[in-house]
Amino acid sequence: MLRAHGANARKIFDLIWTFGAVAVTTWLLVMLVLAMALFRRHLAEASRSPLQIDSDQESRLIRAVGIATAATVVVLIALTIGSFFAGKSIASLSGSETVIVRVTGHQWWWEIRYPKIDSSHAIVTANEIHIPVGESVKVKLDSLDVIHSFWVPSLAGKRDLIPGRPSELSLIADKPGIYRGQCAEFCGYQHAHMAITVVAESRKAFDAWRSRQDSDAVTPIADEERRGQAAFLGTGCALCHAIRGTLASGTVGPDLTHVGGRRSLAADTLAMTPGALAAWIADPQSIKPGAKMPRIALSADDLNAVATYLGSLE
Amino acid sequence: MSGIRQKKAERIQEGGPKGIRDTSIDEARLRAFLAHAWQTPKGLYGWLATVDHKLIGRRYVVTAFLFFIFAGLSALAMRFQLAAPEAGRIGPDLYNQLFTMHGTTMMFLFAVPVMEAFAVYLVPLMIGTRNVAFPRLNAFSYWIYVSGGMMIWIAFAFNTGADAGWFSYVPLAGPDYGIGKRPDFWAQMVTYTEVSALAVAVEIIATVFKQRAPGMTLDRIPLYVWSVLVTAFVILFAMPAVMVSSTMLILDRLVATKFFDSAAGGDVLLWQHLFWFFGHPEVYIIFIPATGFVSAILPTFVRRPVFGYLGIVLSLIAIGFLSFGLWVHHMFATGLPQLGESFFTASSMMIAIPSGIQIFCWIATIWGGKPIFATPLLFVLGFIFTFVIGGLTGVMVASVPLDLQVHDTYFVVAHFHYVLVGGAVFPLLGAVYYWFPKVTGRLLSERLGHWNFWFIFVGFNLTFFPMHILGLQGMPRRVYTYPLESGWGSVNLFISLSSLVLFAGFALFFLNMLLSLRNGHLAGDNPWGASTLEWAATSPPPSYNFPHLPVVTHRDPLWAEPDTLPVIEGLRVDAREVVGGTVADAVPQLRVPSADNSIWPLLSAIAVGGTFFASIYTPWAVVWGAIPVSIGFICWFWPKGEPEDEE
Amino acid sequence: MKKRPVVDVSHLPTYDFGAASPMWWGTLAFIALEAAGFALAIGTYFYLAVLAQHWPIAAPAPDLAPGTAILIILLASIVPNHIVDRWARQHNLQKVRGGMVIMTIAGIVPLIVRIWEFPALHISWDQNAYGSIVWFLLSLHTSHLLTDVGDTIVLAVLMFTQKGKAGRRLSDVSDNVFYWDFVVASWVVLYLVIYWTPRM
């Protein structure tokens, strides 16, 4: 079973256990009474007309049904009130956020933006959110194509990303860790491969990450990397992807300025390894059929060079 | 009214009533006359032109089960793909079509039509009349339904199957992101089936209101008939919502209206509101008749009248009303104001009260009776076992914060299969076992029936219970695959294997029907010793249902008077005629002529269906299609010298 | 099973007017479901209006003239409509024939005026959501108008044939009267929505 690692999720999990316990108890009681009704000794003879009804028994049954109904009403009212207060206390988590993250849903990846604060620029990345542990984070959600739903189960409940209707959600992670999330609203071909990773780390590590993201992409030094950059800029890649510090400034696909530093590729379809990068560039459609990234004809050497170059962009 | 009185006076002057009446002719001649008046001609023409509610009801049931098989096989294909993580057996393009076709077919082409089909067959028999109020509308509704269903499945065969989920959310199904003509076929199929459902609802309401046997006052209406009456009203007010929304969808796609385009003043959530305003009552359109089956089957097999008749009727009505106040609970994750959400939580919880009352009444019925464990009762017990689970998880998802965790996961998949399979299909299978002898004259095999029940019951629970756990572990629905690291693989494999058990159960079910059709024991009129009027007719019933229409003096007429049937006299036997009565007390008011066979409902359905189909490709179809449609309807309604016109 | 005759229905008529007739209930059920459709479409109108910053979106309020003319014609038609009903109930075939001709005209005239009503909206259906919903509402009502005019014409023709002499057909005339009232009533509501909401 999944575990809760944030205040928001913990309140929900408490509620699930409460409701679950009530449900199991109720079900067992109903089944017990049903079994008794079926297998108790029936005094009536078979020859009796079905319309002959024992009136004493009938009034006992009326009482029993009345009591059961009243109990149902009481339990339901209690559950409604419990649910209401859980909702309120989750809502009260928002308001004290120290970090703001903008998440935009695309078919089938997540665009992540951290707005400009004080000295640092706004930063753009994809499919991986970093947050400081123990601090409340505001996630602002929007979509530019179809409806998606942002859901990191062990941190919080889900919230839809609806075109034309921006919304937001609060997250807190109790302890450092890597939490997987996934799009929860069916969004087309690759709905299954639209995952997001939340990295919760200490404030210090978070700040370090943020300032690293703030910088432009590293300039390639090795020949292989230079060749890779040239191939990247020379073929179609730059039309869709941006690498800050180079001429590549496409906005259709994920920003690749620090792609090598991410844990995974193609919205958590593949782990980030040099081999996976090359395989992905070589033939995205066989790995993620329907994805918007086309296959681009590259020589084997260029392909390896591009993969090496991108892998170096940490 | 003076006009009628004057006419009547004229008639008396002319010398007595017209036509041949059932009053003073012997039984054999009576049957011969009635058989002639109510016959369906032999051959293809008769097959196409019949308006006999039993023939139409039967083919409705058979068609619905055929669609059920298609949808079931789609599910099996999905389980094949999901049995292992990152499996490449079925790609996303086909998988998305499969789950959409599965849901769409189960909801629109199986569950709702099969419930209507039973009502079309049973209601006239149970209330003691000879046909539904509008027999030709009934035939029309079937033809429209079958053409809509065939259309979407043929489209699927040409790789144009709907693929945006059974609720086709925009913008995914809208003009910018919908793939090819797939969403258009979906939208028009919905229109077809809604037209047919609405037609049935109208005729059920008129039939139950006006054609009940004399003496069948409101408090003597069989509970099953009450349940389909309430359902008909729910259809009447819910289905227009999906017709409005699917029309808007196709207009957005076809002529660039902007209903759902947020850049031009439209709204994406408008679709969800309209769809779920229909979509939630839809669940009750399926569930309420199923509770009617339970209330019909249970008393027969525990040998006593149902406990708490009035409580059950009021519960049915309450469920009907409340079902319109729940739709937003499908939209909690879209982020609505908290006060609004609380209202919908409360109303969603509240609907558990009338559902609970029904369960308690049924258990009390069992308590006060003496159960006979025949297959129909087994399915009813299986229903209580599983439906209570589905109801309780329903209470869970009614809670906003809880729903935000489990919404759109396998927990919800498990929940609604418990409600729909446990809550509706189990009683439906029980109903098939219960009424099969009435429809065919032969009993289904009890031996196979027991095997059938246990395979389905065990297979169902093994398949769907673990899905609760998958959902709580975070597996979203509608994914064509999942990563190895998720750890969901073994549970999914278990589910896929269990689905084979469930599949085998359904295979036994169909096998039993096929075998028993030929070799089953002859049933006789009332094999179960049941109490309602349909068991007073022969098995199978003749085209005219009853030689003399019955009169009702008790809520359980065949138990109150097991040996004699009080009947009506004075109806014509040389023309189709039924009795019309007052709505509340069923006091006879009219001898209503009943429509004869006609080919025009079929031809009209072809015209309407062709228009809908062509409108997928051009809006002008609506203009040009209006011509054949009008011709069809005019010929349908134009009187053709029926005998009743003489009076 | 033995039969025990207890009710004799041989003296009952084969048709009647109003709630006694099953067809009247069928008509009522159709009216109910169509009213539900109208209500949802009107609900959509207000839903979109509440969402919009300005309503109507990028268009002036529609011109009053054609819609108001239709309103007046339809309201006026209620009078002959109910006179026809009375004649039908009196089995006065001659008068019903004349009345049905008048009702046919009373149905066709608003349909002709409607040709000017669509341009008077000053917006096309594909410009924005406001355009879409007003065209939708107007088309929905037009389709009802067309259907009932068609029904009226068929019944009117029927009245002049031999079949019209059957009393049951007069009951059909009466149900047609009932449905026409619905067409008129729904226009009163839609008229207020389409023409007066933008002016508030």
Rounded Cα distance between B387 and A27, Å, is: 10
* Whether residue B613 has pLDDT greater than 80: yes
- The reply to whether C184 falls in a domain is yes
Closest Cα in chain A to B164: A188
pLDDT reading at B103 higher than 50: yes
Cβ neighbors of B437 (< 8 A, separation 6 or more) are: B443, B444, B520, B523, B524, B527, B539
> B436 near B516, Cβ under 8 Å?
yes
- With beta carbons under 8 A apart, name residues in chain B contacting A62: 308
In a domain, C90, yes or no: yes
Tell me the nearest-neighbour CA distance from A224 into chain B, angstroms: 33
Query: B253: phi > 0 → left, psi -120 to 50 → alpha, else beta; which?
Result: alpha
| Mutation to test the C interface, candidates B254, B257, B262, most C Cβ within 10 Å | B257
Interface of A with B in 264-293 (CB under 8 A): 268, 289-290
Q: Which residues on chain B are in Cβ contact (under 8 Å) with A183? A: 476
Give domain status of residue C11, yes or no. Answer: no
- Contact: B478, A186; criterion CB under 8 Å: yes
pLDDT band, very low/low/confident/very high, at B248 (cuts 50, 70, 90): very high
The answer to whether residue B14 scores a pLDDT higher than 60 is: no
Tally of domains in chain C: 1
Identify whether C10 is part of a domain.
Answer: no
Sheet architecture: strand order including A128-132: A128-132, A195-201, A177-182
Inspect the interface and report whether the beta carbons of C10 and B630 lie closer than 8 Å.
no
Q: How far apart are CA B145 and CA B9, in angstroms?
A: 46
Segment B380-405, tens digit of pLDDT: 999 999 999 999 999 999 999 999 99
Place of tokens 């559950």: A79
Contact C5 B568 (CB under 8 A): yes
- Position A90 scores a pLDDT of 86
**Interface probe with C: pick from B194, B230, B567, B644, most Cβ of C within 10 Å:** B567
DSSP string for B188-246: HHHHHHHHHHHHHHHHHHHHHHH-PPTT--GGGS-HHHHHHHHHHHHHHHHHHHHHHHH
At B342 the pLDDT is 86
pLDDT at B373 over 60: yes
Across the A:B interface, residue pairs with CB atoms under 8 Å apart total 241
Instruction: Please name the residue of chain C whose CA is at the shortest distance from the CA of residue B262.
Output: C129
Q: Which residues contact B257 (CB under 8 A, 6 or more apart)?
A: B248, B251, C125, C126, C129, C131, C132, C135, C136
Cβ-nearest to C129 among B201, B259, B564: B259
Average pLDDT over residues B115-139: 97
**Residue B39, pLDDT above cutoff 80:** yes
- pLDDT for the residue numbered B36: 94
| E strands, B319-456, in order | none
Tell me the pLDDT band of B2, cut-offs 50, 70 and 90: very low
Q: What is the CA radius of gyration of chain A?
A: 28
> Mind listing the pLDDT tens digit for each residue in B509-557?
999 999 999 999 999 999 999 999 999 999 999 999 999 999 999 999 9
Report yes or no on C142 lying in a domain.
Answer: yes
Residue of B nearest to C42 (CA): B244
> Does residue C141 form part of some domain?
yes
Which residues lie below 8 Å from residue A52, measured CB to CB, with a gap of 6+?
Answer: none
Q: What's the rounded Cα separation, in Å, for the pair B172 and B163?
A: 9
Cβ contact B335–A159 (<8 Å): yes
Give the pLDDT of chain A (314 residues) as one tens digit per residue: 578 888 888 889 999 999 999 999 999 999 999 999 999 876 655 567 888 888 888 999 999 999 999 999 999 999 999 999 998 888 887 778 889 999 999 999 999 999 988 777 789 999 999 999 999 999 999 999 999 999 999 999 999 999 999 999 998 999 999 999 999 999 999 999 999 999 999 999 999 999 999 899 999 999 999 999 999 998 889 999 999 999 999 999 999 999 999 999 999 999 999 899 999 999 999 999 999 999 988 999 999 999 999 999 98
- How many C-beta atoms surround the C-beta of residue B146 within 10 A? 22
Per-residue pLDDT band at B8 (split at 50, 70, 90) = very low
B403 vs B419: CA distance, rounded Å: 17
For residue C188, give the CATH number of its domain.
Answer: 1.20.120.80
Q: Do A91 and B338 touch (CB under 8 A)?
A: yes
Which residues have C-beta within 8 Å of that of residue C31, sequence separation ≥ 6?
C178, C179, C182
φ/ψ region of B180 (left if φ > 0, alpha if ψ in -120 to 50, else beta) reads: left
Q: Report pLDDT for C49.
A: 96
What's the gap in Å between the CA of C25 and the closest CA on chain B? 6
pLDDT of amino acid B264? 94
Chain B residue numbers touching C20 (CB-CB < 8 A)? 580, 589-590
Average pLDDT over residues B32-38: 94
Q: Does A92 touch chain B (CB under 8 A)?
A: no
Report pLDDT for B9.
47
Please tell me the number of Cα atoms within 13 Å of B550 on its side-chain side: 26
Q: How confident is the model at residue B202 (pLDDT cuts 50, 70, 90)?
A: very high
CA B133 to CA B593: how far, in whole Å? 10
Tokens of B396: 């869970």
Q: Which residues contact B170 (CB under 8 A, 6 or more apart)?
A: B249, B252, B260, B268, B271
Asked if B472's CB is within 8 angstroms of A16's CB, the reply is yes
Mean pLDDT rounded to a whole number for chain B: 93
Distances (CA, A) of B252 to A163, B173, B241, B265, C139: 16, 10, 16, 13, 15
Please tell me the predicted confidence (pLDDT) of residue B510. Answer: 97
Nearest chain B alpha carbon to C132: B257
Number of Cβ within a 10 Å radius of residue A292: 16
Nearest-Å Rg of the Cα atoms of chain C is: 21
Which residue in B334, B343, B481 has the most chain A C-beta atoms within 10 A of its own C-beta, making it the best mutation to test that interface? B334
Gap from B389 CA to chain C (nearest CA, Å): 34
Cβ distance of C29 and B201 shorter than 8 Å? yes
Given CB atoms, is A1 within the 8 Å cutoff of chain B? yes
A26 with B349: Cβ contact below 8 A: no
Kindly state the average pLDDT of the residues B4-24.
Answer: 59
Q: Are B359 and A30 in contact (CB under 8 A)?
A: yes
Q: With respect to residue C54, please indicate whether it lies within any of the assigned structural domains.
A: no
Say what percent of chain B tops pLDDT 90: 88
Interface list for A 212-251 with B (CB within 8 A): none
**Beta carbons of B479 and A76 less than 8 Å apart:** no
Of B215, B274, B589, the CB nearest to C40: B274
Residues B268-303 have pLDDT tens digits of: 999 999 999 999 999 999 999 999 999 999 999 999
With contact defined as beta carbons under 8 Å apart, do B288 and B223 qualify? no
- pLDDT of B92 above 50: yes
Chain B: give the shortest CA distance to residue C89, in Å.
7
Q: What chains are in contact with C, requiring at least 3 Cβ pairs below 8 Å?
A: B
Range of the domain at C81: 64-199
Nearest CA in chain B to A57: B368
Residue of B nearest to C17 (CA): B1
pLDDT in tens, B561-606: 999 999 999 999 999 999 999 999 999 999 999 999 999 999 999 9
Give yes or no for residue B6 having a pLDDT over 80. Answer: no
In this prediction, residue B23 carries a pLDDT of: 83
Print the SS3 string covering C47-114.
HHHHHCCCCCCCCCCCCCHHHHHHHHHHHHHHHHHHHHHHHHHCCCHHHHHHHHHHHHHHHHHHHHHH
| Contact between B236 and C9 using a beta-carbon 8 Å cutoff | no
Angstrom distance (rounded) from CA A231 to CA A246: 13
Contact B516, B180 (CB under 8 A): no
Residue percentage of chain B with pLDDT more than 70: 96
Instruction: Name beta bridge partners: A160.
Output: A149
Using the Cα atoms of residue C154, residue C159, residue C163 and residue C166 in order, give the sign of their dihedral: positive
Is residue B199 scored above 90 in pLDDT? yes
> From CA B502, how far away is CA B449, in angstroms rounded?
14
Shortest CB distance from B565 goes to which of C3, C19, C34? C3
Intervals of chain C under pLDDT 70: none
The rounded distance, in Å, linking the Cα atoms of C67 and C50 is: 24
Residue position matching structure tokens 């999942």:
B482
Query: C129 contacts in B (CB within 8 Å)?
Result: 257-259, 261, 264-267
Would residue C47 count as lying in a domain?
no
Q: Is residue B3 predicted with pLDDT exceeding 70?
A: no
Please tell me the distance in Å from A214's CA to the nearest CA on chain B: 32
Instruction: Please tell me the number of Cα atoms within 13 Å of C69 on its side-chain side.
Output: 13
pLDDT of residue B642: 57
A54, A171, A185: best mutation site toward chain B, by most B Cβ within 10 Å? A185
**CB nearest to B21's CB, from C10, C131, C135:** C10
DSSP string covering B384-395, please?
HHHHHHHHHHHH
The confidence score (pLDDT) of residue A1 equals: 55
Question: What would the pLDDT profile of B456-513 be if each residue is shown by its tens digit?
Answer: 999 999 999 999 999 999 999 999 999 999 999 999 999 999 999 999 999 999 999 9
Q: Please, what's the b/e burial string for A164-175 (b: 16 or more CB within 10 A of its CB; e: otherwise)?
A: bbebbbbbbbbe
Q: Do C158 and B3 touch (CB under 8 A)?
A: no
Interface of A with B in 106-125 (CB under 8 A): 107
Residue B647 predicted with pLDDT over 60: no
What residues in C contact B637, CB-CB < 8 Å? Answer: 154
Q: Is the pLDDT of residue B59 over 90?
A: yes
What chain C residue is nearest to B132 in terms of C-alpha separation? C22
Indicate the residue type of B142: Y
Two tokens at B466?
């673990």
